């Protein structure tokens, strides 16, 4: 897995695979969900440079190998390493589709895995913690400054090794004892010369690299110290600001507390005043109600006395009228009795004149007259019939047939 070539595409694929391996072993549940219950292989590389790497996912596990594989689930072949590195750096599935149309790459197999790769690409670049964002932003100029230096060193090293490789190929292609002009040559001298040149170039590159790295390191340290000092200053300023805000907040709290207490006292006084006013109103209403009740009571008593007096007057008047009626009734009764007595005297004289038996009383005569009448009810006979003084002289009961 660590067999990395000095090829941009192979180096990039190796870095991607290494990052995915780290994520697979981490506790990132979102990334692990992209690996679970999956089993496939993705092969990427370039035929021009014969650079290939294979990513394999097997039920939650991720691995990479620096070679081709038989029957990959998805195969992506770029026309050259630089094109592949550029397309991969974009991390966009749409760029791959455009690349297919432009002939920059060829794909075979399950195209849906391209979408899977697009999903995991979001996890490849680690997120910078928010507190470190300002430091990263300030460190970018240093990185931009160091990048050309590193590229220059890499280009020189690549150029040197390319020349060396060509020299070795030339030496290997030539005869051990004759050169192109067919003249004898000393192979041992040539080999020693090449090795000496390699050593000198290696030492030179190493020294330059160490100088540049020392320079960048020194600059970075200075920048870091500057950033550290700035951060400490900012922290101190922040602390002072916090203390100031805290003090201001405490003062505000005290002011608000005092204001609240004043308001509470004011509200309490107003409430007590309202309560006193309410009590006075209540007493006033109570006194008014008592006066009203007394007036109504006096009026009622007067009305009762008035009604009582009127009733007594009416009763006296009724008694007088009743006595008058009673006297009148007695007079009428006496008058009727006198008439009856007169009538009775006439009947006695008539009976004596006719030599008849002694006359019966009026009641007896009535009973004899109606002796054969049908009796409807025993209680029809009353004292009024039997009483000789009664003005009622005859009662006839007729029953309809």
Quote the domain boundaries for residue 368. 361-401
Q: Angle CA(369)–CA(374)–CA(375) in degrees, nearest 5?
A: 100
Whether 304 is covered by a domain: the verdict is no
For residue 60, count CB atoms less than 10 angstroms from its CB and return exposed for 0-12, middle for 13-18, buried for 19 or more: middle
- The per-residue pLDDT for range 316-334, each reduced to its tens digit, is 988 889 888 988 988 898 8
Whether 36 is covered by a domain: the verdict is yes
Q: Tokens 């690549």 — which residue? A: 158
pLDDT at 242: 78
Whether 284 is covered by a domain: the verdict is no
Q: Which residues of the chain have pLDDT under 50?
A: 1, 158, 161-162, 164-188
The last residue of a domain, from among 79, 97, 127: 127
The last residue of a domain, from among 98, 127, 156: 127
Enclosing H/E stretch for 304: helix 187-353
At 45, is the secondary structure helix, strand, or coil?
Answer: strand
- The per-residue pLDDT for range 81-104, each reduced to its tens digit, is 999 999 888 877 788 889 999 999
pLDDT at 76: 94
Token pair for 155? 């280009």
Whether 393 is covered by a domain: the verdict is yes
Cα gap 95→77, rounded to integer Å: 14
Cα gap 81→92, rounded to integer Å: 17
Cα gap 242→239, rounded to integer Å: 5
What is the bridge-based pairing of β-strands 39-46 and 74-78? parallel
pLDDT at 183: 44
The last residue of a domain, from among 72, 101, 127: 127
Mean pLDDT of the chain: 76
Whether 213 is covered by a domain: the verdict is no
CATH code, 119: 3.30.1050.10
Q: How many domains does one find in the chain?
A: 2
- Sign of the CA dihedral running 287, 292, 297, 302: positive
Cα gap 217→224, rounded to integer Å: 10
Whether 96 is covered by a domain: the verdict is yes
Whether 75 is covered by a domain: the verdict is yes
Whether 293 is covered by a domain: the verdict is no
């Amino acid at each position: 897995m660590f067999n990395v070539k000095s090829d941009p595409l192979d180096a990039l694929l190796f870095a991607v695979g290494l990052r995915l391996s780290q994520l697979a072993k981490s506790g990132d549940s979102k990334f692990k969900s992209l690996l679970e219950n999956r089993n496939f292989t993705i092969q990427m590389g370039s035929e021009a440079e014969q650079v290939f790497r294979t990513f394999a996912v097997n039920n939650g596990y991720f691995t990479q190998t620096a070679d081709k594989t038989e029957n990959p689930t998805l195969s992506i072949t770029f026309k050259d390493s630089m094109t592949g590195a550029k397309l991969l750096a974009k991390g966009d599935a749409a760029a791959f589709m455009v690349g297919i149309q432009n002939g920059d790459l060829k794909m075979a197999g399950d195209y849906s895995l391209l979408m899977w790769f697009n999903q995991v690409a979001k996890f490849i670049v680690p997120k910078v913690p928010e507190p470190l964002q300002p430091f990263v932003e300030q460190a970018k100029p240093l990185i931009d400054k160091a990048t050309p230096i590193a590229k220059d060193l890499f280009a020189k090293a690549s150029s040197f090794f390319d020349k060396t490789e060509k020299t070795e190929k030339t030496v290997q292609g030539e005869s051990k004892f004759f050169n192109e002009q067919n003249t004898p040559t000393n192979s041992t001298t040539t080999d020693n010369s090449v090795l000496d040149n390699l050593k000198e170039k290696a030492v030179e590159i190493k020294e330059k690299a160490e100088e540049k790295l020392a320079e960048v390191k020194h600059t970075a340290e200075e920048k870091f110290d500057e950033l550290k000092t700035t951060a400490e200053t900012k922290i101190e300023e922040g602390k002072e600001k916090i203390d100031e805000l805290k003090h201001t907040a405490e003062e505000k709290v005290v002011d608000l507390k005092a204001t609240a207490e004043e308001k509470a006292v004011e509200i309490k006084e107003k409430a007590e005043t309202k309560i006193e006013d309410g009590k006075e109103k209540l007493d006033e209403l109570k006194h008014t109600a008592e006066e009203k009740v007394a007036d109504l009571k006096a009026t009622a008593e007067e009305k009762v006395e008035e009604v009582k007096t009127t009733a007594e007057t009416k009763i006296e008047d009724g008694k007088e009228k009743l006595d008058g009626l009673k006297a009148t009734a007695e007079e009428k009764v006496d008058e009727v009795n006198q008439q009856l007595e007169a009538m009775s005297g006439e009947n006695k004289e008539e009976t004596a004149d006719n030599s008849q038996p002694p006359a019966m009383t009026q009641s007896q005569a009535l009973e004899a007259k109606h002796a054969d009448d049908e009796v409807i009810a025993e209680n029809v006979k009353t004292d009024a019939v039997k009483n000789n003084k009664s003005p009622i002289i005859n009662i006839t009961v007729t029953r309809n047939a």
